[in-house]
């Protein structure tokens, strides 16, 4: 029952735009919760927190693990909408990095984008290893 109370608190925190605290709670209860809604809400909160790579990684992991009756959607529409936003924003970031790099006569923009990409990849690996 403790996990259920923490889950409700995490949802309330996320709705109050206290995203870091909500994610901390969701991460704490995820391993002990059999409820898929914890993972789905984590996808949403990650995207709200602009952690799009992490949201995409969790979405993909949940998509692979889902066992559903034929004809049933894997995800509620609110999760699909946030996942789509994460994919879109991640693509815009990638495009921005490519455009900045190609127009730069100095290597600083390329270094910034490379560092950002490495950081995003590192966050993705950490999220996947914590599951």
98 falls in which pLDDT band (50, 70, 90)? low
User: pTM for the full model?
Assistant: 0.67
Q: Report pLDDT for 48.
A: 96
pLDDT of 10 > 60? The answer is: yes
pLDDT of 19 > 60? The answer is: yes
Tens of pLDDT, residue by residue over 62-81, are 888 776 656 566 788 999 99
- CA count, 13 A, side-chain hemisphere, 63: 10
Calpha distance 8→3 (Å, rounded):
9
Calpha distance 67→81 (Å, rounded):
21
Tens of pLDDT, residue by residue over 20-37, are 999 999 999 988 777 788
Calpha distance 43→82 (Å, rounded):
7
Domains along the sequence of the chain with CATH: 2-129 (1.25.40)
Lowest-pLDDT range of 14-23, 36-45, 78-87, 96-105:
96-105
Surface-to-core class of residue 41, CB atoms within 10 Å of its CB (0-12 exposed, 13-18 middle, 19+ buried): buried
């Amino acid at each position: 029952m403790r996990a259920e109370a923490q889950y409700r608190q995490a949802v309330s925190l996320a709705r109050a735009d206290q995203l870091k605290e909500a994610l901390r709670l969701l991460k704490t209860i995820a391993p002990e919760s059999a409820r898929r809604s914890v993972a789905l809400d984590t996808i949403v909160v990650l995207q709200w927190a602009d952690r799009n790579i992490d949201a995409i990684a969790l979405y993909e992991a949940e998509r692979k693990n889902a066992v559903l009756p034929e004809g049933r959607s894997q995800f509620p529409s609110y999760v699909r909408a946030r996942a789509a936003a994460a994919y879109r924003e991640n693509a815009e970031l990638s495009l921005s990095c490519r455009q900045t790099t190609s127009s730069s006569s100095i290597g600083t923009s390329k270094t910034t984008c490379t560092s950002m990409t490495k950081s995003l990849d590192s966050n993705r690996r950490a999220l996947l290893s914590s599951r």
